[in-house]
Amino acid sequence: MAEDDFHRWEREFEPGEAGEAGEGRSGSRGLVLVCVIITTGCAALIVLGDVPLGAAGLVLSSIVLLLWRIGM
């Protein structure tokens, strides 16, 4: 069983195989899509005059997306 665990860990570093959850490039596309939507919404808030809320949204979303990207 230790060999299976090691192979599962090793598979994370192989570029050709998708993960167990079936995420490949679609996970990256989803991350980019979420970034674009959140950034557009926060920019719209800033343009409409609600600068503190738009800035807070950008800061919080960047923290969340950073944590999402590193896998937390």
pTM of structure: 0.56
Give the model's pLDDT for residue 7. Answer: 72
Whole-number Å distance between alpha carbons of 53 and 22: 36
CB 71 within 8 A of CB 55: no
Confidence of residue 65 (pLDDT cuts 50, 70, 90): confident
Alpha-carbon gap, residue 18 to 21, rounded angstroms:
8
